[in-house]
A and B are shown apart, each in its own frame.
Chain A
Amino acid sequence: MASQYGERAADYVTSAVHAQGADLDRIEALAAGRGLGRVLDLGCGGGHVSYRLAPHVTQVVACDVTPPMLRAVEHEAAQRGLTNIATSEAPAERLPFSDGMFDGVFCRFSTHHWTDLEAGLREARRVLAPGGIGVFVDVTAPASAMADSWLQTLELLRDIAHVRDYSVAEWTGALTRSGFAIRPPKAARLRMAFENWVARTRTPEERVAAIRSLQRQAPAEVTQALAIESDGSFTLDVSTFEVEPAG
C-alpha cells in the first residue's frame, strides 16, 4: 500500500474530508485537559489527528507505512510550530513499542487498509497503558450484505489498497476480542463528492468508468443505503469507537 500513497501525501494533508469533521473535534475534546502524556496516532496519514492532539499532550508518536506521508507530516508539523510530534514507519499489526507506553491510541481512517484488523487491534491494546483511552474512527459498512458488498467493490475499484470497511457488528466483536471495553459507538454520515473522492486516490480512468457504470446499475436498496447521487457522489457511515482496556 505504501507505494499507492507515495505521490499523493500532500493531497491528504490538505483534504477537507480528512482535515475536518465532528470526529476530529471529538478526539481533541477527549484529549483536552486530560493531562495525557504520550499518545500514538496509529496510521497517521496526513497527520490531522496528530495536529489536533499535539497541543494537549506531552508527545505524539505518528506512525504509518508510507514514508512520503510521514515526511509530509514532519513538514506540516514544523510549519504549524508543533515540536512534539515524532514519526516512525511501522505497520499497525507489528508495532515497535513496548507494552503500555501510551496514554492514548488514536486511529482515524486507517483500519480499512490493514491486512489484519485484529492483529492491529491487539497491538493497539498492548501498547496502551492501564487506564488509557483508545479511539478508532473509520467508515463502517451497512448492515445489509448487499449494500456492504457494493460498498467494498466501489472502494476497491477506487483504491486497490482498500481492504475492508467493517460493519459496526464486526468492529464490536473485534474490539472485544482484542481486550477493549467499548462505549456505545457514535455514527455520522459523510458525503463524498465524487470528483474529489477519485482525484485524491488518483484512480485511473478505466476504474472511474467502472465505478460510474456500477453506480448507474445499482439496485434501489444500494442506491438508497449509499445515497448515490446522479454525479456519483454518495454518503458513507463513519463510526467512532471510544474504548479502554477491559478490566
Chain B
Amino acid sequence: MTGSTPLDPKLLALLVCPLTKGPLIYDRERSELVSEAAGLAYPIHDGIPIMLPEQARRIG
C-alpha cells in the first residue's frame, strides 16, 4: 500500500516536521518525507503523509 500514489505537490509545499517545524525533503523513491533535523522519515501511504513521529522511521 505504500508508495504507489505520489504526494500532492501543493501539500508537500505546506508540510513541516511536526517536531522541529523545520523543512522536509521528499524522497520519492522510498515515498518518505525526511526531517534531517529530527532524524526521522515520515512515510506516505496512498498519497497521504503520515506525520506521526511514533510511526516515522529513524534515520542515522
- Using A96-B16, A98-B16 as known contacts, say yes or no to A91 and B50 having CB atoms under 8 A apart: no
Can you list, as one digit per residue, whether each of A92-103 has a CB less than 8 Å from chain B (1) or not (0)? 001111110100
CB of B14 within 8 Å of the partner chain: yes
Interface-facing stretch out of A82-90, A191-199, A232-240: A82-90
Q: How far is the CA of A63 from the CA of B15 in the complex (A)?
A: 12
A-B contact number at CB 8 A:
54
Residues from chain B with a CB closer than 8 A to the CB of A95 are 18
Interface size on B, residues (CB 8 A): 20
Interface on chain B toward A: helix, strand, loop, or mixed SS? loop
- Using A71-B46, A94-B18, A96-B15 as known contacts, say yes or no to A88 and B10 having CB atoms under 8 A apart: no
Q: How far is the CA of A63 from the CA of B11 in the complex (A)?
A: 11
Q: A86's contact among B10, B42, B53, by CB below 8 Å, is which?
A: B10
Tell me which residues from 7 to 60 in chain B have a Cβ below 8 Å from any Cβ of chain A.
8, 10-11, 14-19, 21, 42, 45-53
Interface size class of A (residues with CB under 8 A): 20 to 34
Interface on chain A toward B: helix, strand, loop, or mixed SS? mixed
8 shortest interchain CB distances as A-B pairs: A96-B51, A86-B11, A90-B51, A96-B18, A94-B18, A89-B50, A86-B8, A88-B49
17 contacts between A and B (CB under 8 A): A65-B52, A71-B48, A74-B46, A74-B47, A86-B10, A87-B48, A88-B11, A88-B15, A89-B52, A90-B18, A91-B52, A94-B18, A94-B19, A96-B15, A96-B18, A96-B42, A99-B21
